[in-house]
Amino acid sequence: MSDLGSDPGSDPGGLGRELRAAVRGPVDLSVTARALHTMDASNYRRVPAAVVAPHDADDVAAVLDVCRRRGVPVVARGAGTSIAGQATGTGVVLDFTRRMNRVVSLDPEARTAVVQPGVVLDDLRAAAAPYGLTFGPDPSTHSRCTLGGMIGNNSCGSHSVAWGTTADNVRSLSVIDGHGDTRRLGQGWAGAPDGLRTLVEGHLALLRTGYPDLPRRISGYALDALLPERGPDLARAFCGSEGTLGLLTEAVVRLVEAPRARTLAVLGYADESAAAEAAAGLLPYGPLTVEGMAADLVRGAGARENVLPRGGAWLFVETGGDSPAEARARADTIVRAADVLDAVVVDDPAGQRALWRVREDASGTATRIPGAAPGGPGAGHGAEAWPGWEDCAVPPARLGAYLRDFRALLAGHGLRGTPYGHFGDGCIHVRIDFDLITPEGVARFRRFSEELADLVVAHGGSLSGEHGDGQARAELLPKMYGPELVALFARVKDVWDPAGLLNPGMLVRPAPLDTNLRFAPLPREPVDVAFGYPSDGADGGDFSAAVRRCVGVAKCRTAAAPPAGGVMCPSFRATGEEEHSTRGRARLLHEMLAGEVVTDGWRSTEVRDALDLCLSCKGCRSDCPVGVDMATYKAEFLHHHYEGRRRPAAHYAMGWLPRWLRAVAATRTAPLVNALARVGPLAALGKRLGGIAPERALPAVAPRTLRQWWRRRPKGGAGPASVVLWPDTFTDHLSPSVGRAAVRVLEDAGLSVTLPPRGVCCGLTYVSTGQLDRARAVLRATLDRMAPLLAAGTPVVVLEPSCAAALRTDLVELLGDDPRAHRLAASVRTFAQALEELAPQWSPPYVGRPAVGQTHCHQHAVLGDAAERRLRAKAGIEGELSGGCCGLAGNFGFEKGHYEVSVTCAEEQLLPAVRRAPGDAVVLADGFSCRTQLGQLAGVRGWHLAEILAGALEREAGAGR
Residue 112 has pLDDT above 90, yes or no: yes
CB atoms under 10 Å from CB of 240, counted, come to 27
Q: Give the number of other Cβ atoms within 10 Å of residue 708's Cβ.
A: 15
Closest CA to 419 of 266, 514, 313: 313
State the pLDDT at residue 360: 67
Cα separation of 499 and 510, whole Å? 15
Beta bridge partners, 907, equal none
The whole-angstrom separation of Cα 317 and Cα 158 is 10
List of long-range contacts for 820-824, beta carbons under 8 Å, 24+ apart? 820/783, 820/786, 820/787, 820/790, 821/779, 821/783, 823/790, 824/782, 824/783, 824/786, 824/790, 824/796
- Dihedral of alpha carbons 877, 881, 886, 890, sign: positive
477, 220 contact by CB (below 8 A) = yes
Cα separation, 670 vs 659, in Å, equals 14
Confidence of residue 373 (pLDDT cuts 50, 70, 90): very low
Residue 897's Cβ-count burial label (10 Å; 0-12, 13-18, 19+) is: exposed
Question: Helices (H), strands (E): how many in the chain?
Answer: 42, 24
For 752-774, write each residue's pLDDT tens digit: 999 999 999 999 999 999 999 99
Between CA 354 and CA 340 the distance in angstroms is 22
Segment (H or E) for 281: helix 272-282
Q: For residues 896 and 648, give the distance between their C-alpha atoms in angstroms, rounded to a whole number.
A: 10
Half-sphere exposure at residue 487, Cβ-oriented, CA atoms within 13 angstroms? 5
Higher pLDDT among residues 857 and 718, named by residue: 857
pLDDT higher than 90, residue 367: no
How much of the chain exceeds pLDDT 70, in percent?
95
Burial 438-452 (b: 16+ CB within 10 A, else e): beebbebbeebbeeb
Rounded CA separation 393/422 (Å): 9
Identify which has the larger pLDDT, 768 or 293.
768
Instruction: Find the mean pLDDT for residues 585-610.
Output: 97
Name the E strands within 135-260: 170-177, 182-185, 246-254, 256-257
pLDDT of residue 2: 37
Rounded Cα distance between 693 and 887, Å, is 14
Q: Are strands 50-52 and 27-28 parallel, antiparallel or unpaired?
A: antiparallel
> How many whole angstroms separate alpha carbon 222 and alpha carbon 481?
12
Chain centroid to CA 730: 30
Cα separation, 908 vs 858, in Å, equals: 18
pLDDT beyond 60 at 158 = yes
- Cα 355 to chain centroid distance, Å, stands at 17
pLDDT in tens, 821-843: 999 999 999 999 999 999 999 99
Tell me what the mean pLDDT of segment 190-196 comes to: 95
Residue 846 C-beta-side C-alpha neighbours within 13 Å: 1
pLDDT band, very low/low/confident/very high, at 339 (cuts 50, 70, 90): confident
**Mean local confidence (pLDDT), 391-404:** 92
Maximal CA-CA distance, the chain: 99
pLDDT of the residue at 446 = 96
pLDDT category of residue 383 using cuts at 50, 70 and 90: low
Side chain identity, residue 421: G
CB neighbour burial string for 796-810, b if at least 16 within 10 angstroms, e if fewer: bbbbbbbbbbbbbbb
| pLDDT (0 to 100) of residue 755 | 96
Q: Residue 374's pLDDT is what? A: 35
Q: What is the pLDDT of residue 304?
A: 45
User: How many other β-carbons are positioned within 10 Å of the β-carbon of residue 348?
Assistant: 11
φ, ψ (nearest 5 deg) of residue 928: -60, -40
pLDDT tens digits, 883-917: 889 999 999 999 999 999 999 999 999 999 999 99
For the chain, the helix, strand and coil percentages under 3-state DSSP, each to the nearest 5:
45, 15, 40
Residue 674 C-alpha from the chain's centroid: 42
512 C-beta neighbours (distance < 10 Å), count: 11
CA-to-CA distance for 167 and 198, rounded, in angstroms? 23
Share of the chain above pLDDT 90, in %: 82
Distance from C-alpha of 878 to C-alpha of 920, rounded to nearest angstrom: 12
Cβ atoms < 10 Å from Cβ of 353? 14
Q: List, for residues 54-69, the tens digit of each pLDDT value.
A: 999 999 999 999 999 9
Q: 433 and 385 in contact (C-beta within 8 Å)?
A: yes
Question: What is the rounded average pLDDT of the residues 353-358?
Answer: 82
CA-CA distance, 40 to 550, in Å (whole number)? 10
Q: Find out whether 19 and 568 touch, Cβ atoms under 8 Å.
A: no
Q: CA nearest 716: which of 754, 673, 687?
A: 754
CA–CA distance, 824 with 31 (Å, rounded to integer): 43
pLDDT of the residue at 67: 97
**Whole-structure pTM value:** 0.92
Residue 376 pLDDT exceeds 80: no
Residue 219: what pLDDT?
96
86-95, 353-362, 566-575, 667-676: which range is least confident on average? 353-362
Q: 55: burial class by Cβ within 10 Å (0-12, 13-18, 19+)?
A: middle
Higher-pLDDT residue of 379 and 270 is: 270
CA 444 to chain CA centroid, Å, is: 30
Arithmetic mean of pLDDT over the chain: 92
The closest alpha carbon to 577, from 50, 33, 19, 21, belongs to 33
CA 121 to chain centre: 16
With 80 as the cut, is the pLDDT of residue 649 above it?
yes
pLDDT tens column, 14-52: 999 999 999 999 999 999 999 999 999 999 999 999 999
| C-alpha angle 99-104-109 in degrees, rounded to nearest 5 | 160
* Angstrom distance (rounded) from CA 154 to CA 441: 31
Specify whether the CB–CB gap between 429 and 357 falls below 8 A. no
pLDDT at 8: 58
pLDDT of residue 537: 61
Length of the chain (residues): 961
